[in-house]
């Protein structure tokens, strides 16, 4: 974008945290603001400083974009849904005496580790301060959520088909949640 | 008026600026300034995330165009956005009427 290096430096700071399409939109607005001040008779550097001051601190803008991102939104929704779905599955596992199922310890540990990882990813996306890491964590958390839900439904069907009746509500909630998660992977990645 | 005082009302203000037709981010900010007689004290840069949030919510729709060699994102009000704006207007009228009735009443007469 034409104009003094001050504006270029300001946009470079934003580019470090925000994707190109957002910086491009901000650059257009900043250029308009800069031209507005030039039109009022300010010199180039003064106009650039005034435009930058009017736009605000880069940290404030990045934080606002991070809070408004699709990744943060879906991560918070999945975290709110989590306890309810988890409680339903816990009831199913108790009714079906899951501790007696012929599932290797390694598989149980792997599932537990994945569950903790997914919760961690969604928590990072829900409260993280860095735009890109929020988007990536949210996308990975969405995929992980869908895999966990599919694993639970598949495990009950294969291992304890006699208790499928008890898993109806939990499976329905899991289907809703994984569908929501999968539909939002792209939106989480693009912010 | 500062950003923290606007909490909860910024969405309605942004939707209202798009009621007359599509605008880009800077034009939205200019329209806000005009409609508030310059009393709005918001960093222009924070208008853009708010527009993105409204777009995610389906209340406005954004599209890219090229103007004078520069990429520019234009936003327009969606049908859902028009409905939300009507609801926010009605809520605001109720709220304003209640506050006006409560605050502009004369001093309470002495019960004695």
User: Per the CB < 8 Å rule, is A32 touching B49?
Assistant: no
DSSP state of A51: H
Pairwise CA distance, residues B63 & B67, whole Å: 13
Is the pTM for the entire model greater than 0.90?
no
Q: Which domain holds residue A54?
A: 5-64
Burial class (CB in 10 A: 0-12, 13-18, 19+), A36: middle
User: Per the CB < 8 Å rule, is B71 touching A31?
Assistant: no
Burial class (CB in 10 A: 0-12, 13-18, 19+), A13: middle
Q: Which of A29, A33, A131 to mutate to test the interface with B (most CBs of B within 10 A)?
A: A29
Q: Is B63 on the interface with A (CB under 8 A)?
A: no
Q: Is B69 on the interface with A (CB under 8 A)?
A: no
Among B43, B56, B73, the residue with its CB nearest the CB of A25 is B73
Specify whether A53 is located in the same domain as A82.
no
A118 Cα to chain B: minimum distance (Å): 24
Question: Contact, A31 vs A3, CB < 8 A?
Answer: yes
**H helix runs in A56-130, sequence order:** 58-68, 70-95, 105-127
Tokens of B47: 């208008």
Question: Contact, B71 vs B64, CB < 8 A?
Answer: yes
Q: What pLDDT, on a 0 to 100 scale, did the predictor assign at position B108?
A: 58
Specify whether A19 is located in the same domain as A52.
yes
DSSP state of B2: B
pLDDT tens, A90-119?
998 998 888 888 899 999 999 999 999 999
Q: Is A71 on the interface with B (CB under 8 A)?
A: no
Specify whether A173 is located in the same domain as A88.
yes
- What lies within 8 Å, CB to CB, of A62 at 6+ separation is A14, A17, A18, A131
Positions in chain A whose pLDDT score sits under 70: 1-3
Tell me what the mean pLDDT of segment B28-35 comes to.
90
User: Per the CB < 8 Å rule, is B25 touching A64?
Assistant: no
Specify whether A17 is located in the same domain as A49.
yes
Pairwise CA distance, residues B76 & B23, whole Å: 7
**Measuring CA to CA, how many Å separate B77 from each of A26, A75, B59?**
20, 27, 6
Question: Contact, B17 vs B35, CB < 8 A?
Answer: yes
May I ask the CATH class of domain B3-101?
A: mainly alpha
Q: What pLDDT, on a 0 to 100 scale, did the predictor assign at position A111?
A: 95
Specify whether A185 is located in the same domain as A149.
yes
Among B45, B50, B53, the residue with its CB nearest the CB of A26 is B45
Q: Which of B48, B54, B60 to mutate to test the interface with A (most CBs of A within 10 A)?
A: B48
Tell me, what's the ipTM? 0.78
Domain count, chain A: 2
Specify whether A121 is located in the same domain as A85.
yes
Q: How far apart are the first and last CA of chain B?
A: 41
Give residue B15's pLDDT band: very low, low, confident or very high (50, 70, 90). very high
Q: Is the pLDDT of residue B109 over 80?
A: no
User: Per the CB < 8 Å rule, is B56 touching A24?
Assistant: no
Provide the residue ranges of all domains of chain B, joining segments of one domain with +. Answer: 3-101
- Interface size, chain A vs chain B, as Cβ–Cβ contacts under 8 Å: 69
Burial class (CB in 10 A: 0-12, 13-18, 19+), A164: middle
Tell me what the mean pLDDT of segment B41-60 comes to.
90
Q: What pLDDT, on a 0 to 100 scale, did the predictor assign at position B36?
A: 86
State whether residue B60 is helix, strand or coil.
strand
A117 Cα to chain B: minimum distance (Å): 27
Q: Is A67 on the interface with B (CB under 8 A)?
A: yes
B49 Cα to chain A: minimum distance (Å): 5
B23-24 sheet: strands from edge to edge: B23-24, B70-77, B60-67
- Pick the residue from chain A with its C-alpha nearest to B40: A54
Which H helix or E strand runs over B102?
A: helix B79-103
Q: Is the pLDDT of residue B7 over 80?
A: no
Q: Is the pLDDT of residue B65 over 60?
A: yes
Q: What pLDDT, on a 0 to 100 scale, did the predictor assign at position A67?
A: 93
A96 Cα to chain B: minimum distance (Å): 41
Specify whether A26 is located in the same domain as A59.
yes
Specify whether A141 is located in the same domain as A183.
yes
The count of C-alpha atoms lying within 13 angstroms of the C-alpha of B7, restricted to the half-sphere facing its C-beta, is 2
Specify whether A31 is located in the same domain as A122.
no
Specify whether A125 is located in the same domain as A172.
yes
CA A138, distance to chain mean position in Å, is: 3
List the beta bridge partners of residue B62: B75
Give residue B66's pLDDT band: very low, low, confident or very high (50, 70, 90). confident
Q: Which of A46, A61, A82 is nearest to A11 (CA)?
A: A61
């Amino acid at each position: 974008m034409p104009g003094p290096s001050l504006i270029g430096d300001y946009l470079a700071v934003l580019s470090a945290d925000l994707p190109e399409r957002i910086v491009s939109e901000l650059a257009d607005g900043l250029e308009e603001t800069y031209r507005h001040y030039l039109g009022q008779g300010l010199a180039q550097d003064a106009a650039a400083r005034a435009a930058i001051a009017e736009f605000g601190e880069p940290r404030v803008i990045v934080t606002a974009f991070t809070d408004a991102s699709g990744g943060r939104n879906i991560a918070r929704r999945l975290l709110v849904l989590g306890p309810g779905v988890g409680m339903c599955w816990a009831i199913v596992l108790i009714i079906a005496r899951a501790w007696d199922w012929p599932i290797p310890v390694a598989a149980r540990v792997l599932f537990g580790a994945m569950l903790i990882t997914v919760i961690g990813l969604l928590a990072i996306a829900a409260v993280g301060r860095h735009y890109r890491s929020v988007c990536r964590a949210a996308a990975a958390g969405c995929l992980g959520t869908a895999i966990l839900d599919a694993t639970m439904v598949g495990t009950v069907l294969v291992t304890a088909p006699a208790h499928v009746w008890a898993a109806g509500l939990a499976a329905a909630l899991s289907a809703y949640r994984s569908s929501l998660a999968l539909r939002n992977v792209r939106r989480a990645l693009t912010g | 008026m500062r950003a923290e005082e606007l909490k909860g009302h910024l969405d309605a203000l942004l939707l209202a600026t798009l009621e007359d037709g599509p605008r880009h981010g800077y034009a939205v900010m200019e329209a806000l300034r005009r409609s508030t007689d310059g009393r709005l004290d918001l960093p222009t840069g924070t208008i853009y995330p708010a527009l993105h949030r409204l777009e995610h919510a389906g209340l406005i729709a954004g599209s890219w165009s090229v103007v004078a060699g520069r990429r520019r994102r234009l936003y327009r009000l969606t049908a859902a956005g028009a409905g939300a704006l009507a609801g926010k207007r009605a809520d605001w009228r109720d709220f304003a009427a209640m506050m006006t009735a409560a605050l502009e009443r004369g001093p309470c007469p002495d019960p004695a």
